[in-house]
Amino acid sequence: MKLRLTAEQDAVVGRARAFASSRLRARVAEFDQAGVPREIVQALGREGLLGALVPADLGGSPLDAITWGLVTEEIGKVCCNTRYLLTVHASIVAGTLARWGSRAQKAKWLPALATGDVVGAFALSEPETGSDAANVRTRYEASEGGFRIEGRKRWTTFGAMADVFLVFARRGDEVTAFLVERDRPNVHVKPIRDVLAGRGSHLAELHFEGVEVPKENVVGSLGAGFRYVCSTALDIGRYSVAWAAVGVAQGALEAMSTYAGKREQFGQRLHEFQLVKAMIADAVTDVHAARALCMHAGMLRDKRDPEAMIESSIAKQFAARVATRVTADALQVHGAYGLLHGGVVEMLFREARALSIIEGSTQIQQIVIGDHGAQAYGEGTHET
């Protein structure tokens, strides 16, 4: 699928592609084992690839939604662990702060997030709370200096490296978002290792053991944490993960097509067998369709169309499934070589599985999309 990009868009996407090729490709397996190093975070910052959602006057390099999506695809195609940084730090944390942060919070955090001098993480999920995110159990109460936060978070991407966390906590029925600096007393960070996906993305469990934060650290207003701040964060995150899934699927498609063009069995190259060709054809179709849905969602986001939110869910749900299908077929085409630990398709296959779970699982997207469908298309369908 040929995309018509402006010269400016093309240059940014080209920079991301060059970065992935020169700085990431050779080290993907190393990052999978040891984690993405800070040096790569800062290098991405220097390339202007962390400030896409940060205003220019705060040191950002703002991008339209489609360009940002294509950048996410380019990085995600090569290194999913690095792509997690674009989703969480550069999209969710920076984007949500740009939308809901106070003037002082923006001035303090956004320039440093854009350069990568500070790493931000998004701490919503907990040991007992995943999809039902409105029911976070982490609590806060008023204290002399502001608020005291008590509770545990889990699966915090880049949490083991982050300098600041966007944390959601409840007091009675209200949920509030807070910025919690890692160096505050009683913040405990425990890395989570040996996971199938996101192994190099510094996943962590966080324990806030009566952590004191000043009232200036409230993001948005008291009680606005779920309906406004979190909803913005999840919307941004979904859009990013949709593109991440396109990247994974595109990476698998390229690996599968390349291998099928080289490997010979029965005196023919694999891509000459009709059954293999069918897998490639399905993958091409799936990837093009997923990218088209992402482009559509991006176009609506750039127009600030309210439909952008549901279209991002649709794109995310579809693209995550595509990533699972295409990586499975890519692995199949590679035969036993596809199973080799640390190989390109083995890593993409593992990473694809997470994309149907994170940022609203496939089932949660189906609920949202189903509700939308019933409203948007159901008028009169129950009348007899």
Q: Which residues bind ligand FAD (CB under 6 A)?
A: 88, 122-125, 130-131, 155-157, 197-198, 354, 357-358, 361, 363-364, 367
**Nearby residues of 145 by Cβ (< 8 Å), 6 or more positions away:** 212, 214
Which CB, 58 or 364, lies closer to ligand FAD?
364
Q: How far apart are CA 175 and CA 234, in angstroms?
A: 15
What's the token pair of residue 61?
């390099």
Q: How far is the CB of 113 from ligand FAD (least distance, A)?
A: 15
Contacts of 91 (CB under 8 A, 6+ apart): 52, 53, 68, 72, 236, 237, 239, 240
The answer to whether 359 is a known catalytic residue is yes
Listed in sequence order, the residues at least 6 apart from 55 whose beta carbon sits closer than 8 Å to its beta carbon are 62, 98, 106, 110
Q: Quick one: how far is CA 4 from the chain centroid?
A: 25
Q: How far is the CB of 8 from ligand FAD (least distance, A)?
A: 31
Q: Look up residue 351 and give its two tokens.
A: 């990473």
Options 126, 272, 359, 383, the catalytic residue = 359
Rounded-to-integer distance, Cα 269 and Cα 179, Å = 56
Q: How far is CA 288 from the centre of its chain?
A: 20
Structure tokens at 12: 């940014």
What the block records as the tokens of 191 is 């890395």
Considering the complex, what minimum distance in angstroms separates the CB of residue 357 from ligand FAD?
5
For residues 134 and 173, the answer to whether their CB atoms sit within 8 Å is no
Of residues 91 and 257, the one with the C-beta less far from ligand FAD: 91
Select the residue whose beta carbon is closest to ligand FAD and give its number. 130
Closest listed residue to residue 298, CA positions, set 249, 243, 372: 243
Give the shortest CB-200-to-ligand FAD separation in angstroms.
11
The dihedral formed by the CA atoms of 242, 122, 101 and 236, expressed in degrees to the nearest 10: 10
Question: Do 182 and 163 contact (CB within 8 A), yes or no?
Answer: yes
Cβ 131 to ligand FAD, closest distance in Å? 3
The residues pairing with 165 across neighbouring beta strands, listed in sequence order, are: 121, 180
**CB of 312 closer than 8 Å to CB of 369:** no
CA-to-CA separations, 269 to 15, 240, 251, 256, 258, in angstroms, rounded: 34, 37, 21, 12, 11
DSSP 88: I
CB of 50: closest distance to ligand FAD in angstroms? 16
Closest approach, Cβ 176 to ligand FAD, in A, equals 16
Residues marked active site are found at 359
